[in-house]
Structures are given as C-alpha cells and as structure tokens.
Amino acid sequence: MKKGKVYNSKLNKSRDKDTDVEVIRLNHKEGNTVRPYFTQPLFSNDGAYLLTASDRTGSWQLYNLEIKTGKMTQLTEESDLSPLTACLDGQKMKAYYWQDRSLKSVDLSNLKIEEIYQVPQGFQPSILSLSSDGKYLDFSYSEKLNLSTVSGRIYSGMEETFYQHPTSVVMRVDTEEKSARAIWGERNWISHVITSPVDSDIIVFCHEGPWHLVQRLWVVNAVTHQVHPLLEQQKHFERAGHEIFTAKGRVVAQYGKRSQLEEDWNNADLFIKPDGSCKEKFSYPGPKPMHVQVSSDEKYGVGDGAYLNQDFKAGDKYMSLIKYEAGQAKMKLLCRHDNSWESQISHPHPVFTPDDQNVVFNSDREGNVNIYLAPADW
C-alpha cells in the first residue's frame, strides 16, 4: 500500500467485434481502476500520463498511469480518499484531491503531500476544478443531510436532497498562497463547479437535482460575485446537465425539450458562451448519450451512448463519435463499452486525449472497472 510503489502491467489489446477498432485496456485487472470524472483535467500536458484512482491495494488511492506502457505509480497512502474528485495540473505535474474534508496536493516528482484547506465540519466537498494556469481550485461544499430514501440504488436520494435545500457555498482556493475565498452561497444543492479555461474569473456551477425540476446552470464572477443563469429553463419542459467547458471557453450542456409531460424528450447538445452569446444547438435523432465530451476545435464529440436512430435499441452499450454539423449531432459507432451502469465509478465518462486523437473511458465490461483507450477517427 506504500506510495511510490510501481505496478507494471502489459497493455491488453483487442478488436471490437462490431467496428474492428482496436481497444486497449490500459491497466492490469486488479481491483477497480478508474479515470476520475470527465469535467476536470487529468492528463499531463504532453498526454503521456493520466491521473487515475484504484482500490487495488484494498483502499482507494491515486496513481500516475503511463499510457504507453500501463505502468502505474502509487501517489498516495490515505484513508477516506475520494476517487472521482481529483484533478491534475498537467504542467506542474501536481495532483489535487480530497481526503475526507481535507484538500491536499501531491507532487508527482517527489510525492510530497501538502494540506491546503479544510471544508467545515458538517459539509461535504464537490469535484475539483482547476484554472488553466494552475493558480485556482474551484469547488463547492454542501451540507450533509439525514435522508430517508437512500436505498443503495444509484441516485435514490436525489429528490429528497433536492427538496431539503442544503446550504451550499462555491469556494476558490489560491494554490500558491493557500488561501480560500467564498464566491457564492445559497440554500440550494450546488454540486458541479467548472472554471473557464479562457477567463479564470468565470465559474459555472449547477443546482443539482432532477434536471427537469432545477434551474441548473448558473454563472458567477469570482471577483464581483455577480450571478446570472446561463440558460433559463421552463420547469418540467426543459432540462440541461453534464455541463463542461470547451477549450474555446464555451459551455456545452446536454439539453432536452418537450411540449407535453408525457412526451419523449427532444435531445441536443447546446453550446453557449457564459454571457449567453454564440448559442448553437445540435440535435440528436433520438436518445442522447449519458455523458459527452468535446474536441478542442468544437467540431467533434464523444459520448457513452450511440443511438443512431429511433430503432437502434442497444445504444447504451456503445461509445459514439459525434460530428457537430448543420445543427445536427451526427453519431457513428466507435466501439462497445458494455458497461453495466450499476455504479458511479463504472460510468464510462469518456474524454479525448489532449491531442484529440484518442478517447479514454471507464467500463466494468470485464468484471472490475478498468480504463480503456480507442482511436477517435471519424
């Protein structure tokens, strides 16, 4: 369990039976190994390394994965480490993560760990977002609640949490000065926080809950504390979520609209600048992927679903490549992910590599959760 230990594994290569694309498992099948959530930076700037989390030693720890070899170096030796919330400064090669309520950093060159900040007692922190220059970490914390509807089924307590209106605060930590500032707060459940890659003072946060019941997307200026809705939704008839920033500074959200409560959703990916300008909508022919990431030029996407048309019923088992063209999100099959969808850590959460040439995703297709790579060739 000691940090610094190196685990060597042979890359496992196979051909997808439907598309003949080569799919590579990047890690050895020991325990669960995941790439954290798809909204935060996880690659080194040159794309050679990927920050991962694994419970191969019996507890969740962070690892530095060398993509070409599958070699994994253990970075932490902690208890109560949150596996999906970490991020990586790909220039300084420093990882940031939550250990219970403590925000910590680990230097990948010497494995030195520092504690930077602590969330107040009685609150729980969200996924971390890092500014493009590595100076700021943005996140939220929300009140821990007593819930009566949590059953073990994923998201079973979501509606109750939403209706309890937990106190939440959006925070900014200066990684150099190790100082913290409150940017915004309210008695609504705030979860995901993302920082603009082109203007670090622009932060998008979301009101968590069922997408059709919340006004989800909000923008706050870290200097002025001014807040405005990014996209105004009509309750019950519009929904948006899984928001990300593109490299160009636009927000992409998965969007749905319907005219009657009993109707199916008309789904699209919506691109919009934080000030509400440059809005574009790209419609799907049927159901949307669960999660979408976008290439640096905004021309292509990747999704962990591939509903090519209304009659294609097995779309939840496939990765798709998406081409944004003439108002349409045009999909083609990339490969099967065959994920069970039974746990948050197993969700594919696909991302492009820094050069946009490959896609990395999670799957429990072989039992435990592993990380896979496939070429992003439209």
Which residue matches tokens 């509903």? Answer: 307
State pLDDT tens for residues 188-242. Answer: 999 999 999 999 999 999 999 999 999 999 999 999 999 999 999 999 999 999 9
Domain at 12-35+242-377: CATH code: 2.130.10.10
- Position 138 pLDDT exceeds 80: yes
- Position 1 pLDDT exceeds 70: no
- Position 298 pLDDT exceeds 80: yes
Average confidence (pLDDT) over 284-290:
94
Q: Report pLDDT for 336.
A: 97
Q: Report pLDDT for 155.
A: 86
Average confidence (pLDDT) over 69-80:
97
Euclidean distance between the first and final Cα of the chain, in Å? Answer: 41
**What are the structure tokens assigned to 231, written together?**
């996209």
Each domain of the chain, given as residue ranges in start order, spans: 12-35+242-377
Q: Report pLDDT for 309.
A: 83
State pLDDT tens for residues 140-181. Answer: 999 999 999 999 888 899 999 999 999 999 999 999 999 999
List helix spans (H) across 154-270: 158-164
**What are the structure tokens assigned to 75, written together?**
């970075």
Q: Report pLDDT for 275.
A: 96
Average confidence (pLDDT) over 356-368:
97
Percent of the chain with pLDDT over 90: 94
- Strands 136-143 and 123-125, sheet pairing: antiparallel
Strand partners, 32: none
**What are the structure tokens assigned to 140, written together?**
């939220």
DSSP 35: -
State pLDDT tens for residues 4-46. Answer: 999 998 899 999 999 999 999 999 999 999 999 999 999 999 9
In 3D, which of 112, 96, 240 has the Cα closest to residue 173? 96
Measured CA angle at 361 (ends 344, 207), to 5 deg:
45
Average confidence (pLDDT) over 275-281:
96
Alpha-carbon span 197 to 113, nearest angstrom: 26
| DSSP element (H, E) containing 332 | strand 328-336
Model confidence band, residue 267 (pLDDT cutoffs 50, 70, 90): very high
